[in-house]
Every structure is written in structure tokens, then in C-alpha cells.
Chain A
Amino acid sequence: MKKKRIHILAVFLFTALLSVASADEIELNYRLKWLFNTSVAGDIYADAKGYFSEAGLKVHVREGSPEKNAINELELGHADFGVASADQVIRALDKGAKIRVLAQLFQVNPMQWIYRADQPRIKTLDDLRGRNIGITFGGNDETVMNTLFAKAGITSKDVKITGVRFDFTPFFKREVDVWPVYFNSQGVILKDRLEKEGERVYFFNPADFGVNFVANSVISSEKVWKNRPEVVKKFMDALLKGWEAAMDPANEADVLMEVKKQDKESNDELRRLQLIATRELIKPSAGVKIGTMDVEAWKQTEAIMLNEKQIKKPVHVESVLKQ
């Protein structure tokens, strides 16, 4: 009987200790822009490897989608931090949202176009003339392509535009020549599939032609940024540490294992190729610190959107970039 009481007491003390420990942790919600996959390896790794808990944070990393928009969730108080693309940030600023950008995850925009190597290589923008180009109407690839057209003086008569979605069939059937992809996810999948059929591919990267449209960044609300600076610092330090570790080739096997736990759709080899491609975009060279803001690219993104009439007035996006 006495032994039983000691056991109960021990269990009670252990539970109490655990709850005290977890009560010390700050609970946060972090809304990603898209589903769990290799593109968010750093976010997954920071969580799985305990970088957040080491900083005294309990972070709920949640998947995103067009319907689950981080900016909306920040305003509604459902999330404390989130990931949004630059066009989302600039559009939100134009409509009065009070947000802050804390780190720019992608140094190179993954939004690119894929085309078969049996077609003439796109060396100048003029080489786009006469091609059937896929565009996601309403997506940021439309804005980027329109900017490229304007730059090269290409009109709608010079090219054929086809609206596309997630189904690659028109590209496989050669109905569309140049297809928009996320270089590190769909790009890898398409390249792999075509190479298995004996076809080689090229990627058309707008940045090579002077159009730097910023992609995903970590954001927070102005309220959180002003009122909880210590939480912002802890979160960002832990997150960027997670990303640095995830992008280190020495941790590749470990990172892939953690991503696999969340993303069961792709196979192991594809995930490995996607991680290599993601590394090129997040940390293009060893000297680049993950999260670095490319202020000029942000300004260019705003200018493009203003020119494309996607926003009504200048928002001076550089004023909300906080690092």
C-alpha cells in the first residue's frame, strides 16, 4: 500500500514538473505559405530538431494554401508568425495591413519556367517570341511574365499565352512550350519525368534577365513586432538556425528523414533532388546568410506591381523590412 502511494506521488510530481516546464514555454502559431515539402525543410527541421524548444518556444508549424493565408491569420490573431510571398505582402500593405517582414527566405525566386532542350534556347527575351507560354492567371508568374514582355517590347500578338493550373498534361502533350514551375518542387518532378523519357530540359529564370521578384519571407504583425520583441528575436534566431542547419549538406540525410515524416507524397530520390534545388535558392553561396533582405529586389517587386496596376499607390515596402 505504502509502495503504491509512493508511486502515485512520483507520477504526480513528474506530471507537475512537466507542466511547470511547458508553462514556461511560449506557445506560438507559425503559418506556412504552402504544404509540407522540401521547400520548407528549414521550418520542419527547426521544429523537429528542437531549435524552438531550446529557445523556450512551443511552435505549432502549420501548412498553408491559397485559402490559408498567413497575413489574414496574423490580423485575425490565429497566427503569430507566417510565411508570405512579396506580392502578398505588398498587396496587403496597399490595403492597410500592418505587417513586418523579418527575413527573406528565398534569395532566388523559385518561380521559373521549364522548356524542352529540343527547342531553341532562350538566350534573350526576344527568344520568347512565337512560343506558347503557360501562365497562371492571377498568380505572380503572370506579373513577372508581363514585366518581361514589357521589357522586351513583346505584345500579345508576338506570343501565345495559355492559362495553366497544376495539371502538367498540356506540357507533356507539347501543347504549351514554356511551362511555369516552382524550380525546386515541380521543376524537379518534371525534369525527372522527362529525363526518364529521354528528354532534356532548360529552365528560364527571370532573374537572369534583370527581373528580381522576391518570393517567400517570414512575416509578423506590427503588434507582435512592437510589443513582443524578445519573442520575435527568439523565434527568428531559432528559425534561422534551423534553416542554416537544414541547408548544410552535412545534415542532408537527417533533413530528408524529417521532411519525409511530413511529406509522404514524393519518393526519396525526388526529395533529395528537391533539397539540392532548394539549397541553391535559399543559400546560393556559402557567404550568403540565410534570411538576408535584398532591399533592391523588394523595391523592384513593388515597382513591377505598381506598373502592372496590382497596387494603387506606392507602399514603400523597404520601411517594413526589419532584420
Chain B
Amino acid sequence: MLFRRIYQFLIVYSIGLISLLLIKTALSLSDYVIPGFGLILETFQEVFDTYFLDAMNTMSVTVLGQCVSIALAFGVGIAGRRSSWMGSFIKVTAYNIQAYPIVALAPIIFILLGDGFISRLLIASMICYFPLLLSVLGIMATPVEDIEHFYIITGRMRWQLEVKIRAFENLSKLTTVISGSATLAMAGTIVAEFIAANAGIGYSIRVALYQSDLAKILIALFLIGIIISIYQGCLETLGEQIKTRWSVSKGGNPR
């Protein structure tokens, strides 16, 4: 899973890079517009250390932001799973708020909270929170009738058990959603850094853009891509392992 993610990214990145170099050759463009391969390699050696640290900085905010949003989404999703008025209210509110483009709020967040760590974390978690919430709400609000029925009839149903059943019966769906939300969290962090922060790979891209340095931007994109691929691959592998262990503990076939 992990390696598949990495080589898929490498293939896509290489195709993009080759296309750019073909355009450069076809239109006889200077290194200022599209850098040549030699210049990209040279820039890679120059900025790799700094950009790698910047990308890891962004990644740390991404992971933290995603954890916050997962916790929030599960909290609200569990509270909103019931068909009571409270559950319906939470669902309707979530559907309506998620329609609002969160990025548009970023400047207000930066004015109020400054351009430090908290603003980046908040924007990252907000951007990945709502899509995550909608999926969690959908999963938690849908009963797994053939299993739940037994517990309801025997009077042993508790809310914790209900949540457990629904979560584990939809484990692959949840794994996919959580892994997908990593990209959103990363995008949110980069957008935040690009708009106003003073750290992270998004900020480095902004600086490179001021200097019209496409070579630096390409290297930043490479690092973002490779790091997010590894992270997503790890999340998917973890999800697979949890699923396997759960199936084995139930005495079922892991596949």
C-alpha cells in the first residue's frame, strides 16, 4: 500500500516535469520561465535541507490538525447520529456550515490570532473537519440492523456499543475517509501558510513566487507530494491492520 502510493506519485510527478520540459524546449523558453533539468537539480541540492524541514513543519501541523478534526468529527457525529431533534439540528447545521468556503475566513483568523502556529492549526483542522464530519455523520446515523437488532431485542444495547458496531462495520469506509482527509488537512495548512504564516512549506512557496523561482516551487511540490504519499500510505496500512486484527479476533476471515 505504502510503496504503491509512493511510486504512483513519482509517476505523476515525472509526467508533469517531463511535460514542462517539453514545453520549455518546444517554445525555447529561458530558465526564468521554466527551469531546465540541470537547474532543478542544482536548486534541489541548494534548498533540500531547508525545504525538507519546512515540509516536516507543515506535516506536523497537518497531522495535529487532522487529529483535532477527527476527534471533533467523531464527537459531533456521535452526538448527531440520533433521529431526535438534537441529532437533526446537528446534521442540518453541519450540512449548512460545510457549504461555506472556510478559506475565506482565513484572513480574519490571521488578524485575530496572528500568523503563528494556532492560526495554521485552526485553518488546517477546519478545512478537513467538515468533509470528515459529513462522512462520520452518515456512517453513525445509519443502523447496522442485522447486528443491532439482536442487542436491542435482548436489551443490551448501549450507545457505546452502537457506535462500536457502526464504526467497525464501516471500517474500510472510515479508513478511506480519514486517509483522504489527510490531503485536505495538508492543503489547509499550505493555504494558511501561503496566505499569512511565517513558516512551513506554503510560506517557502510564497517566497519562491516573489522571486519567480519555479525550480524552488517544483522542489517544494515534490516534497509535499512524497511526504503526503508516505503519510497516506501509513494511514491506509494502519487501517488494514486494524481491520485484519478485528476480523481475526472475531474469528472471521481477515480478507
Show the binding face of A for B, using Cβ within 8 Å. Answer: 66-67, 69, 71-72, 75-76, 88, 91-92, 95-98, 136-139, 163, 165, 167, 169, 310
CB pair A75–B209 under 8 Å, yes or no, is no
Instruction: Report B233-254 CB contacts with A as 1/0, cut-off 8 Å.
Output: 0000000000000000000000
Interface residues on B, range: 20 to 34
A75 and B210 in contact, given A167-B110, A167-B111 (Cβ under 8 angstroms)? no
Most B CB atoms within 10 A — which of A71, A75, A92, A138?
A138
CB pair B110–A72 under 8 Å, yes or no, is no
CB pair A75–B211 under 8 Å, yes or no, is no
Among B32, B39, B210, B211, contact of A72 (Cβ-Cβ < 8 Å): B32
- Name the interface residues of B79-99: CB closer than 8 Å to any CB of A: none
CB pair A76–B208 under 8 Å, yes or no, is no
CB pair A95–B35 under 8 Å, yes or no, is yes
CB pair A138–B210 under 8 Å, yes or no, is yes
CB pair A88–B212 under 8 Å, yes or no, is yes
CB of B27 within 8 Å of the partner chain: yes
Complex Cα spacing A137 to B207, Å: 6
CB of B31 within 8 Å of the partner chain: yes
CB pair A92–B111 under 8 Å, yes or no, is no
CB of B20 within 8 Å of the partner chain: no
Give the Cβ gap from A231 to chain B, nearest Cβ, in Å. Answer: 22
CB of B29 within 8 Å of the partner chain: yes
CB pair B35–A138 under 8 Å, yes or no, is no
Give the Cβ gap from B196 to chain A, nearest Cβ, in Å. Answer: 5
Complex Cα spacing A67 to B205, Å: 12
A76 and B27 in contact, given A91-B212, A165-B115, A167-B110 (Cβ under 8 angstroms)? yes
Complex Cα spacing A60 to B241, Å: 60
A75 and B30 in contact, given A66-B210, A95-B35, A167-B110 (Cβ under 8 angstroms)? yes
Q: Please, which residue of chain B has its CB at the minimum distance from the CB of A136?
A: B210
A138 and B29 in contact, given A72-B212, A167-B196 (Cβ under 8 angstroms)? no
A139 and B212 in contact, given A75-B33, A76-B27, A96-B32 (Cβ under 8 angstroms)? no
**Can you give 12 contacting A-B residue pairs, CB < 8 Å?**
A72-B32, A72-B33, A75-B33, A95-B30, A95-B31, A96-B30, A97-B30, A98-B30, A138-B207, A138-B209, A138-B210, A165-B196
Give the Cβ gap from B56 to chain A, nearest Cβ, in Å. Answer: 19
- Chain A residues contacting B172 (CB-CB under 8 Å) are none
Complex Cα spacing A98 to B39, Å: 18
CB of B135 within 8 Å of the partner chain: no
Among A71, A76, A136, A163, contact of B212 (Cβ-Cβ < 8 Å): A71
